[in-house]
């Protein structure tokens, strides 16, 4: 019996191109914070979530999907746009953040106004300048399509299409958008690759000057800080808008630096086009505005050589396999 | 397993219907709980509320009409004359009262038979439910409605407790060319960081205008008047000219402190 079953397994696995592994915690990552007990990841749920992520019917006129402003080749950002570019060419006021390693994130958006990944998609779907649709109406559109009925049934047991299932499926897809295969990760996991001399010098500089906020290994501590960029022209007050706490004015979430070569422009409003400009900001551009982070009161002293080394190190945070992972692409 | 379980319940239920009451439409499922309701009758001072059609005047002397009025009522509790308290099952104790939908003016629930002399409820949605898993947010709590009649803030996760919109000559012209005012009051205290909390509990004594006498096979209806003028007029009067748009901000605290006083008991239909 056992032998027979084994044979069957072997025979079957050859037909499956790639086994669905579900959520796998990378060896060098901490435990995730997402409540997986409320949303069991399944292949059917993930595949439904992926279809929904690329579904333009979530926008009022069926033109904009989640994937429109979160493009995989740009680490799920909208590369080249300072602020998100939504329906009817309307512009948002902030830069599209990457969909990446969200299982480790406990607040969402630049101001942390959303505290549960399952509630996050409601924001872009209903925002006037993004998708300008209601969830109610979007779901009504999906209910007319037999393909979705079948996928919801496979994922959740019956064909009902509702808010909870839709949000849970989207979460399942987004939770598996894990970037953990950069050169930096391989070095951390002792998998063979080594930092070059310049990268190693850059890494030492990074650890001495940057990791207080860009904490390893996720390269962010998910805190909210004012990093000394002057108040934007739209006077975006960041975290203050959701807490109304004076000490939060002009603070924004510390972004991860993973895949940073693909996510330009930088900052919450995309004001810096190049990494060079970003590093120059920390070196000499810090502005004294309310709640400036004390760590940046005097900027970060950096010679040209140190800056060059740092850039070399930062490039090891790029993860080409993530950007090309066909499982995460529109099918 | 489930089938057996339901059969037993069905047997018990039919037995109790036969033995306790000839009225087969009774909804008493265990012979103890009976139908009750609280009616929310929206008025403006001494006048009935008519959406869009009638102009009213606030304490600041500003004229206004109301185009939309809706609010959450939740966590209904009753106290019997013997001092014991009954809380409606939390999973069936969220009601969205909408002036433009007459069917919503009643919060209907089940309670044990008895004489009740005190009613309390929350205006809005408590902080616990505001942070629950999305699977617990069904019915009126489903965050799927649109920006117009929806009662949920996506950008700052949380329910809108009270929404009143209308027009007033005192309001400045908005980008759409209208003189609109919009009060969207919410704020449950924050989840990842503390912030303003506009969750309000109202307690109403029923003895003066009629205790609720809940009896099997009947529906005791506690009829409340809801004077929305009190959302504007109170210990701090709200001027529409100064506050045409009150949403997530300090002014919302004033409005919430005002509207906690807008409910009064008119009578009970036993």
Residue from B155, B159, B195, B250 to probe the interface with A (highest A Cβ count within 10 Å): B155
Instruction: Using 70 as the pLDDT threshold, list the residues of chain B that sit under it.
Output: 1-31
Region of residue B124 (phi > 0: left; psi between -120 and 50: alpha; otherwise: beta): left
Per-position b or e across B17-40, b if 16+ CB within 10 A of its CB: beeeeeeeebebeebebbbbbbbb
From residue B66, how far is each of B103, B182, B229, B252, B259 by CA, in Å?
19, 10, 11, 18, 16
**Tokens in use for B92?**
């069936």
ipTM, 2 decimals?
0.85
Residue in B closest to A135 by C-alpha: B144
Among residues B135, B134, B113, B121, the alpha carbon closest in space to that of B90 is found at B121
Nearest to B154 among A123, A136, A162 (CB): A123
What is the residue extent of each domain of chain B? 1-31, 36-269
Size of interface A-B (CB pairs under 8 A): 88
From residue A323, how far is each of A267, A312, A318, B56 by CA, in Å?
21, 20, 9, 60
CA A147 to chain centre: 28
Residues 6+ apart with CB under 8 A from B21: B28, B216, B217
Cβ distance B192 to A112 less than 8 Å, yes or no, reads yes
- List domains and CATH numbers for chain A: 28-178 (1.10.760.10), 183-321 (1.10.760.10)
**Which phi and psi angles does A143 have, rounded to 5°?**
-65, -15
Cβ distance B250 to A244 less than 8 Å, yes or no, reads yes
| Chain B residues close to A118, C-beta within 8 Å | 133-134
Tallying the residues shown for chain B, one arrives at 270
What is the distance in angstroms between the Cα of A2 and the nearest Cα belonging to chain B?
32
Cβ distance A128 to B143 less than 8 Å, yes or no, reads no
From residue A258, how far is each of A176, A184, A212, A250, B100 by CA, in Å?
16, 10, 16, 23, 50
Cβ distance B133 to A123 less than 8 Å, yes or no, reads no
Distance CA B136, CA B26 (A): 29
| Chain A residues close to B195, C-beta within 8 Å | 242-245
Distance CA B18, CA B32 (A): 15
Which pLDDT tens digit goes with each residue over A14-49? 444 568 989 999 999 999 999 999 999 999 999 999
What is the distance in angstroms between the Cα of B52 and the nearest Cα belonging to chain A?
25
Distance CA A211, CA A303 (A): 19
| Chain A residues close to B144, C-beta within 8 Å | 134-136, 139, 163
- The contact set of B with A (CB < 8 A) is 131, 133-135, 137-138, 142-147, 150, 152, 154-157, 190-196, 248-250
What is the distance in angstroms between the Cα of B244 and the nearest Cα belonging to chain A?
19
Question: What is the reported pLDDT for B145?
Answer: 76
- According to DSSP, residue B205 is labeled E
Among residues B67, B52, B261, the alpha carbon closest in space to that of B182 is found at B67
What is the distance in angstroms between the Cα of A292 and the nearest Cα belonging to chain B?
19
Cβ distance A244 to B195 less than 8 Å, yes or no, reads yes
Which pLDDT tens digit goes with each residue over B36-89? 999 999 999 999 999 999 999 999 999 999 999 999 999 999 999 999 999 999
What is the distance in angstroms between the Cα of B137 and the nearest Cα belonging to chain A?
8
- According to DSSP, residue A285 is labeled I
Cβ distance A243 to B250 less than 8 Å, yes or no, reads no
Tallying the residues shown for chain A, one arrives at 331
**What are B79's strand-pairing partners?**
B85, B118
Among residues A181, A215, A231, A201, the alpha carbon closest in space to that of A312 is found at A201
User: A163-175 and A43-53 are packed helices; what angle lies between their axes, rounded to 10 degrees?
Assistant: 100
What is the distance in angstroms between the Cα of A44 and the nearest Cα belonging to chain B?
19
Cβ distance A244 to B249 less than 8 Å, yes or no, reads yes
**In three state form, how does the secondary structure of B26-87 look?**
CCCCCCCEEEEEEEEEEEECCEECCCCCCCEECCCCCEEEEEEEEEEEEEEEEEECCCCEEE
Dihedral sign, CA of A22, A28, A31, A33?
A: negative
| Chain A residues close to B249, C-beta within 8 Å | 244
| Chain B residues close to A135, C-beta within 8 Å | 143-145
Question: What is the reported pLDDT for A18?
Answer: 65
Nearest to B193 among A122, A139, A243 (CB): A243
Angle formed at CA B183 by CA B180 and CA B186, multiple of 5 degrees: 155
**Tokens in use for B169?**
């000559």
| Chain B residues close to A35, C-beta within 8 Å | 133
The answer to whether A65 touches A133, Cβ cutoff 8 Å, is no
Cβ distance A242 to B156 less than 8 Å, yes or no, reads yes
Three-state DSSP at A74 gives: helix
Distance CA A175, CA A46 (A): 9
Cβ distance B191 to A115 less than 8 Å, yes or no, reads yes
Dihedral sign, CA of B198, B203, B209, B211?
A: positive
Cβ distance B143 to A122 less than 8 Å, yes or no, reads yes
Exposed/middle/buried for B194, CB within 10 Å: 0-12, 13-18, 19+? exposed
Instruction: Using 70 as the pLDDT threshold, list the residues of chain A that sit under it.
Output: 1-18
Distance CA A88, CA A104 (A): 33
Q: How many H-runs (helices) and E-runs (strands) does chain A carry?
A: 13, 2
The answer to whether A312 touches A203, Cβ cutoff 8 Å, is no
Cβ distance B144 to A163 less than 8 Å, yes or no, reads yes
Region of residue A303 (phi > 0: left; psi between -120 and 50: alpha; otherwise: beta): beta
**Tokens in use for A245?**
């706490």
Cβ distance B192 to A137 less than 8 Å, yes or no, reads no
């Amino acid at each position: 019996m056992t032998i027979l079953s084994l044979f069957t397994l072997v025979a079957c696995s050859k037909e499956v191109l790639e086994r669905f592994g579900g959520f796998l915690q990378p060896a060098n990552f901490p435990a995730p914070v997402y409540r997986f007990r409320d949303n069991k990841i399944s292949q059917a749920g993930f595949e439904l979530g992926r279809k929904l992520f690329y579904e333009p019917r979530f926008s009022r006129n069926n033109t904009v999907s989640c994937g429109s402003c979160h493009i995989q080749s740009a680490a799920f950002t909208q590369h080249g746009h300072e602020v998100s570019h939504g329906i009817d060419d309307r512009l948002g006021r902030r830069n599209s953040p990457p969909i990446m390693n969200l299982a480790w994130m406990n607040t969402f958006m630049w101001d942390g106004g959303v505290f549960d990944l399952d509630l996050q998609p409601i924001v872009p779907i209903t925002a006037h300048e993004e998708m300008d649709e209601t969830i109610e109406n979007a779901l009504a559109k999906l209910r007319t399509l037999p393909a979705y009925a079948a996928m919801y049934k496979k994922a959740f047991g019956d064909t009902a299409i509702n808010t909870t299932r839709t949000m849970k499926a989207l979460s399942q897809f987004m939770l598996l958008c894990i970037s953990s295969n950069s050169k930096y990760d391989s070095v951390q996991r002792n998998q063979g690759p080594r930092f070059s001399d310049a990268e190693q010098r850059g890494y030492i500089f990074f650890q001495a000057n940057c990791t207080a906020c860009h904490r390893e290994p996720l390269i962010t501590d998910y805190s909210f800080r004012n990093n000394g960029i002057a108040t934007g022209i739209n006077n975006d007050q960041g975290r203050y808008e959701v807490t109304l706490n004076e000490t939060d004015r002009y603070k924004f979430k510390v972004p991860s630096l993973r895949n940073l070569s693909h996510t330009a422009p930088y900052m919450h409003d995309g004001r810096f086009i190049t990494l060079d400009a970003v590093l120059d900001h920390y070196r000499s551009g810090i502005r004294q505005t309310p709640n400036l982070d004390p760590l940046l009161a005097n900027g970060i002293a950096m010679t040209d050589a140190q800056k060059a080394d740092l850039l070399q190190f930062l490039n090891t945070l790029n993860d080409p396999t993530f950007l090309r992972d066909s499982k995460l692409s529109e099918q | 397993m489930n089938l057996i379980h339901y059969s037993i319940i069905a047997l018990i239920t039919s037995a109790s219907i036969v033995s306790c009451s000839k009225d087969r439409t009774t909804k008493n499922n265990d012979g103890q709980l009976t139908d009750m309701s609280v009616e929310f009758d929206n008025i403006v001072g001494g006048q009935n509320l008519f959406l869009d059609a009638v102009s009213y005047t606030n304490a600041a002397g500003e004229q206004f009409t109301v185009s939309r009025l809706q609010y959450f009522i939740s966590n209904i509790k009753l106290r019997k004359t013997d001092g014991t308290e009954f809380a409606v099952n939390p999973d069936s104790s969220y009601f969205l009262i909408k002036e433009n939908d007459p069917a919503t003016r009643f919060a209907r629930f089940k309670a044990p038979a008895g004489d009740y002399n005190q009613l309390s409820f929350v205006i809005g949605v408590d902080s616990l439910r505001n942070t629950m898993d999305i699977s617990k947010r069904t019915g009126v709590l489903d965050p799927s409605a649109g920006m117009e009649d929806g009662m949920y803030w996506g950008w700052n996760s949380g329910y809108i407790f009270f929404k009143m919109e209308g027009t007033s000559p005192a309001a400045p012209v908005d980008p759409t060319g209208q003189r609109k005012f919009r009060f969207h009051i919410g704020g449950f205290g924050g989840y990842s960081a503390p912030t303003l909390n506009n969750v309000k509990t109202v307690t109403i004594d029923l003895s003066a205008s009629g205790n609720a006498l809940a009896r099997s096979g009947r529906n005791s209806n506690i009829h409340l008047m809801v004077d929305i003028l009190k959302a504007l007029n109170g210990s701090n009067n709200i001027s529409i000219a100064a506050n045409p748009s009150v949403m997530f901000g300090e002014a919302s605290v004033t409005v919430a402190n005002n509207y906690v006083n807008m409910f009064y008991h008119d009578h009970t239909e036993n």
